[in-house]
Amino acid sequence: MKRLLVTTLLCIVPSTALAQAPVIGPATCEAERAVYEMTAPETDEVWRIGLVPSRNMASIASNLYLKLTTPQRDYWFTFSVSQGYSGISVFPVTDPYADGGPRDLLGPPFGTDPNGVTEPDILNALRFIALDGDLNADFEPPMSGDEAPPYIMLPEIGRALWYDAAAMTDDPSADRDPMPRGVFKRTACLVAPHRSAGP
């Protein structure tokens, strides 16, 4: 009788454990379909972020481009991940939909543009932080197919657009582009992802 009881328990416990195991289902909104918005206090101006899939790897860190749309223009970025505690950065590139695909806008060692900005301080203005619903930071940049984080922060990008807007775009008319500090919130999920960009 004891053997029968032990055998029954051994059969039941694994089934119960499996039944209680978390189930990972499909993403509710893939990163490439997410729309993020931030509004300026007391104005109707909106800043938007979209994550655009690349035909190939946009960078070694991610197969997505980040598109920042301000009231003035669009800015395009690729993702970079530093070793150690440095975290995730976004590096400016030209429009990946343009003929020939994107090219770097920063100078070495961050990019390949010989006339681009080379000051190490620029990295401090290009931090990228993805936050989950509990405001925990993700340590990897988003990839196509990943569930879109609820929040995105570019904490110092406003400083870069104020002092170095011309370094963030190939638009010759770029000057100061004022942008408030704040958090981009996921506000919508597109029916279909953006058209793939890049060469």
pLDDT at residue 12, as a whole number: 42
- Residue 4: in which H helix or E strand, if any? helix 2-20
Asked if 145 and 31 count as a contact pair (C-beta separation under 8 A), the reply is yes
pLDDT at residue 43, as a whole number: 83
Q: Other CB atoms closer than 10 Å to residue 85's CB: what's the count?
A: 5
Residue of 141, 149, 142, 177 lying closest to 162 (CA atoms):
177
In this structure, the dihedral spanned by the alpha carbons of residues 118, 164, 199 and 194, taken in order and rounded to 10 degrees, is: 140
pLDDT tens digits, 113-126: 877 777 767 767 89
- pLDDT (tens, 9 = 90+) of the chain, 199 residues, equals 444 443 443 444 444 433 444 344 455 899 999 999 999 888 889 999 999 999 988 898 999 999 999 999 999 999 999 776 668 999 999 999 998 889 988 888 777 887 777 776 776 789 999 999 999 999 899 999 999 999 999 998 998 898 888 889 988 888 889 998 899 999 999 999 999 998 7
Q: Where are the domains of the chain?
A: 31-189
For 162, what's the count of Cα atoms within 13 Å in the CB-facing half-sphere?
Answer: 9
pLDDT at residue 84, as a whole number: 65
pLDDT at residue 47, as a whole number: 95
Residue showing tokens 């490439």: 32
pLDDT at residue 27, as a whole number: 58
